[in-house]
């Protein structure tokens, strides 16, 4: 059933060109811009030597800002609403790391559970993730293995690429992936037995690389639950400055805000807009009255950590954190979710 191919690295651009031409895909890949690895529409040359992108690819299905509908209302009359749906462009995202593929799985659950989110779904069904296995030593902040992932995981990806030096091993994960590999003009060649052997070895070595770890992650949900009222949270959040880096860069944070943005006053004209929001901001949960159920950084740090390691697990049977390490490496004051979970677990009998 599985489809495995080999791609000469020199012909990566040919495949991308074929996808654009034959499959009507708009291809995106990581590019280094102003010192930041960012997904960009592919220009001439694709580099895939990125550690990981600063921002996960979640914006392809859940952009930081999107218009839901526009409204126009003459005073005293009924408003006219015009739904704005995302453009149906198919987007193929190259170079997605396995932790971010697993992030997509979790986002999919959130936006399909209970009620379908029409905007997320409209985008998501047109996005394909072409993953890239991590076969170089992990970053100091990587911990995917301890949260159920792996540097070669295919979860959430449509295709997994593995760097074999001068060529990529290309493995289909989904039907979409297969179609992309079989696109007209594709330069992919059949994988030889030696290639398969080498991939196995490379994957084995990648998985064997040592990483930091959340200790005993299976016990984390219960331990966190037991620690809800622990004074430890206050100490752990002591340095927290309440910015939005940890959540905005997280591949699984999905919280959002809805606001009306005006474009005219007579008649009333504007758009209802969804933007990312952030549980670390004080106004996130603040009631109109000023009462705030999560009124300090301790409560807000606890929310973030418990959401990742307890609530999500209780609701969906999996940890929400995928171990990408962005919140650890980018925190201005060194708050480290691995250390936080481990410390809390240690303190619970």
Partner 1 sequence: MSEQQPYEPKIVAFLCKWCSSAGSDLAGVSRIQYPANATPITVPCSGSMSPMYILSAFNKGADGVLVSGCHIGDCHYMEGNFLARRKLHLVKELLQFIGVEENRFRMSWVSAAEGAKYAQVVKDFVEDLRPLGSQEKLKAQRT
Partner 2 sequence: MINIQDIRDTARDLLAKGEVRAVIGWRAGSRGMPAEPVVITAPEQADELVWDPTCYHNLALHLVEDRKFLAHARKTAGAPIGIIAKGCDARAIVVLMQENYFKREDVYIIGVSCEGSGMIAEWKVARQLDGAVPTAAAFAGDEFAFATAAGEKRLPAREVMADRCLECRNPFPKEHNVALGEDKTGRALEAPFAALARFETRSEGERWEFWQRQFDRCIRCFACRSVCPMCYCEECVVDSINIAVAPETTAEEKANRIRWIERSAVKSENITYHMTRAIHLAGRCVDCGECERVCPVNIPLRLLNNKMEREARERFGYEPGASIGGPSLVASFRDDDPGAFIR
Partner 3 sequence: MSHNPPDNIYLPKLARIAHIKEEVAGERSIKTFRLEFVNGDGFDHQCGQCAMLSIFGRGESMISIASSPLIKEYKQFSIMRVGRVTSAFHDLSVGDTVGIRGPYGNSFPVDDWRGKNLIFIGGGCGLAPIWPVITTAVAQRANFKNITVFYGGRSPRDIMYRAELEKLRSSADVHLSVDKSEEGWNEFCGFVPSNVMDKAPPPDNAIAITCGPPIMIKFVLQNLQNLGFKDEQIYTTIENKMKCGIGKCGRCNVGKDYVCVKGPVYSWAQLKNLPQEY
Residues in the site for partner 2, rule: CB under 8 A? 34-36, 54-55, 64-65, 137, 139-141, 212, 238-239, 241-245, 248-249, 257, 259, 261, 273, 275-276, 278, 281-283, 286, 288-291, 328, 330, 332-336, 338-339
- Residue 222's binding partner among partner 1, partner 2, partner 3, none (Cβ under 5 to 8 angstroms by kind) is none
Question: Which is nearer to partner 3, 167 or 313 (by Cβ)?
Answer: 313
- Residue 212's binding partner among partner 2, partner 3, partner 1, none (Cβ under 5 to 8 angstroms by kind) is partner 2
Q: How far is the CB of 172 from partner 1 (least distance, A)?
A: 38
SS3 category, 120: helix
What strands, in cross-sheet order, belong to the sheet with 189-190?
A: 36-41, 25-33, 90-96, 127-132, 159-163, 167-172, 4-8, 189-190
Sign of the torsion formed by the C-alpha atoms of 337, 343, 344 and 349: positive
Name the residue among 144, 288, 300, 122 with its Cα closest to residue 210.
144
Q: Does 117 bind partner 3 (CB under 8 A)?
A: yes
Residue 342 · residue 334 · CB < 8 Å = no
Q: Which of 21, 218, 315, 346 binds partner 3 (CB under 8 A)?
A: 315
String of contacts with partner 1 for each residue 240-279, x by CB under 8 A: ---------------------x-x------xx--------
Question: Which is nearer to partner 3, 198 or 230 (by Cβ)?
Answer: 230
Q: Which of 5, 123, 254, 326 binds partner 3 (CB under 8 A)?
A: 254
Report the DSSP beta bridge partners of residue 71: 81, 270
Q: Does 63 bind partner 1 (CB under 8 A)?
A: no
Q: Does 82 bind partner 1 (CB under 8 A)?
A: no
**DSSP per position, 106-164:** HHHHHHHSSS--HHHHHHHTTEEEEEE---SPPPTT--GGGGT--TT--TT-SEEEEE-
Name the residue among 130, 210, 140, 139 with its Cα closest to residue 163.
130
Q: How far is the CB of 75 from partner 3 (least distance, A)?
A: 9
């Amino acid at each position: 059933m599985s489809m495995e191919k080999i791609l000469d690295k020199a012909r990566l651009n040919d495949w991308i060109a074929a996808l654009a031409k034959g499959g009507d895909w708009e291809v995106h890949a990581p590019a280094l811009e102003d010192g930041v690895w960012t997904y960009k529409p592919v220009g001439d040359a694709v580099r895939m030597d990125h550690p990981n992108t600063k921002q996960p690819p979640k914006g392809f299905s859940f952009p930081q800002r999107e218009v839901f509908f526009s409204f126009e209302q003459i005073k005293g009359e009924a408003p006219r609403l015009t739904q704005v749906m995302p453009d149906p462009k198919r987007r193929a995202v190259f170079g997605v790391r396995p932790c971010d593929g697993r992030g997509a799985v979790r986002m999919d659950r959130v936006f399909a559970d209970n009620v379908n989110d029409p905007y997320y779904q409209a985008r998501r069904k047109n996005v394909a993730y072409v993953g890239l296995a991590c076969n170089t030593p992990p970053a100091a902040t990587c911990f995917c293995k301890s949260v159920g992932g792996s540097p070669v995981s295919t979860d959430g990806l449509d295709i997994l690429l593995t760097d074999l030096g001068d060529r990529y091993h290309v493995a289909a994960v989904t039907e979409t992936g297969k179609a992309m590999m079989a696109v007209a003009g594709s330069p992919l060649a059949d994988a030889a037995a030696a290639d398969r052997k080498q991939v196995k070895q490379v994957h084995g070595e990648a998985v064997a690389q040592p990483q930091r770890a959340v200790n005993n992650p299976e016990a984390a949900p219960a331990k966190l639950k037991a620690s809800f009222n622990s004074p430890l949270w206050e100490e752990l959040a002591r340095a927290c400055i309440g910015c939005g880096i940890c959540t905005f860069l997280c591949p699984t944070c999905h919280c959002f805000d809805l606001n009306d943005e005006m474009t005219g006053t007579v008649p009333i004209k504007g758009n209802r807009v969804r933007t990312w929001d952030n549980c670390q901001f004080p106004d996130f949960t603040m009631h109109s009255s000023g009462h705030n159920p999560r009124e300090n950084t301790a409560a807000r740090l606890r929310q973030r950590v418990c959401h990742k390691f307890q609530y999500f697990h209780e609701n969906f049977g999996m940890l929400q954190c995928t171990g990408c390490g962005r919140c650890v490496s980018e925190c201005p004051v060194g708050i480290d979710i691995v250390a936080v979970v481990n410390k809390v677990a240690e303190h619970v009998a």
